[in-house]
Amino acid sequence: MCLHFETVTAKNRGAVERLALLPEQAGFIESPTECLREADASDFWRPVGIYDGTELVGFAMYGYLPFLGEGQLWFDRLLIDKAFQGRGYAKAAIAALLERLRQEYPCRRVYLSVYGDNAAAIHLYQQAGFSFNGDYDTKGERVMVLDFPETGPAET
């Protein structure tokens, strides 16, 4: 597996919009088309295609929302195409995206939201270190947070 991320542009947008979920996952996440419309309407969101080499396997969207509290960094969307599920892509993409967010933003905390009945996603996010904070977002999803570890000078 050789994961990397590419910004969604006119060149890859059609392929990203064709990504699909399994029928039982419908309703847990907006379609890529809906996500991209949201990103088009706001400079806060960063939509990216998830690639294994040259193969598009998924989509993610993240962004910093300065108007929430003191400002919040959100890992807002993650979708692995139904043809690529069960191969470890979601777990690897979360780890790689979290590292990207840690380096790209000065924030120490990352937020996401998930429907309470989406057990598979909850388990995946908990494995990555996220935990529920007791809050709900505007759509009734439960909010999870992850605090990045302190990164100080290495001890000798």
Read off the pLDDT of residues 69-101 as tens digits, 9 standing for 90 and up: 788 999 999 999 999 999 999 999 999 999 999
User: Three-state DSSP class for 146?
Assistant: strand
pLDDT for position 151: 59
108-117 average pLDDT score: 93
Which of 105, 111, 92, 86 minimizes the C-alpha distance to 50? 92
Active-site residue list: 125
pLDDT tens digits, 1-44: 899 999 999 999 999 999 998 888 878 888 899 999 999 999 99
Residue 68 predicted with pLDDT over 80: no
DSSP state, 154? P
pLDDT for position 154: 47
Q: Are 69 and 14 in contact, with CB atoms under 8 Å apart?
A: no
